Amino acid sequence: MAEAALRLDGVTSGYGEAMVLRDVSLTLLPGEILTVLGKNGMGKSTLLKTIMGFLPPREGRVHIHGRDVTRLPPHRRAGGSVSYSPQDQAIFQDLTVGENLRLGLRSDRGAAAAVERVTAFFPFLAQRGRQPAGTLSGGEQKMLIMARALLSNPRLLLIDEISEGLQPSVILRLAEVLRRECAARELTILIIEQNLRFALSVASRYAVLVRGEIVDGGRVAPGVEARIQDHLAV
């Protein structure tokens, strides 16, 4: 079996004395797309923050590409070809679109080709390279965040609620980009989502998080949407 791109073993994590995640275990192989679904307050964003190292787990271990990173700080994990697209608008508002994109590059080597590749996914970014990023619409800023995350050529991409507030046409485009990148570069993706249809259109596997615990999971297949809806209705 291929070495796991991401493996969580019995991870418990939270804030202070309040534990939000409880004994969470999951494994992603290279090239897989897993979506973690759940209502607000169920621990989805806490899961990504724990994987990235912003929250140290109280119990359990986190492995990325076979390496135990449980005690490593976030910048050491990102240095291992991990990109994180957070839920909030994490761009530098006063910098231009082009300057924000360059922040996603690991070096200047091959920079022009890398920027050309990702702006082909979102052409408006190339057209507005000198525009202050803070003047973009909310949806455009999310596309900028996604393009910047892809620029670093990650092996593991963590995405938090990227579809929130996006127009249907943009969501379809984003789904196409993620599927294409996954197939072309064996990119592994973990998507946190509330938009069930978008998530299932992209992912090959799913997991449902309820009150900090994974209560269901499996392959995305016909009929699975109704099963997930039952969990989300609780």
Is the Cα dihedral 92, 94, 98, 99 positive or negative?
Answer: negative
In this predicted structure, what is the pLDDT of residue 74? 87
In this predicted structure, what is the pLDDT of residue 122? 87
CATH topology of domain 6-81+155-232: Rossmann fold (3.40.50)
Q: Which two tokens stand for residue 192?
A: 């946190």
pLDDT digits (tens, 9 = 90+) for 66-116: 999 999 998 887 666 898 888 766 788 899 999 999 887 777 777 788 888
Q: What confidence category does residue 46 fall into, taking pLDDT thresholds of 50, 70 and 90?
A: very high
In this predicted structure, what is the pLDDT of residue 153? 84
User: What 3-state class would DSSP assign to 229?
Assistant: helix
**185 or 132, which is more confident:** 132
> At a CB cut-off of 8 Å and minimum separation 6, what does 196 contact?
37, 225, 228, 229, 232
User: What 3-state class would DSSP assign to 98?
Assistant: helix
In this predicted structure, what is the pLDDT of residue 1? 53
Element (H, E) at 31: none
Tell me what the pLDDT averaged over the chain comes to. 89
Q: What's the CA gap between 233 and 205, in Å, rounded?
A: 20
Domain ranges of the chain: 6-81+155-232, 92-153
Across 5-30, average pLDDT: 94
pLDDT digits (tens, 9 = 90+) for 205-224: 999 999 999 999 999 999 89
In this predicted structure, what is the pLDDT of residue 36? 96
Smallest CA-to-CA distance from 63 within 37, 25, 35, 33 is with: 25
Q: Give the CB-side neighbour count of residue 4, counting CA atoms within 13 A.
A: 16
pLDDT digits (tens, 9 = 90+) for 175-200: 999 998 898 888 999 999 988 999 99
In this predicted structure, what is the pLDDT of residue 186? 86
In this predicted structure, what is the pLDDT of residue 89? 62
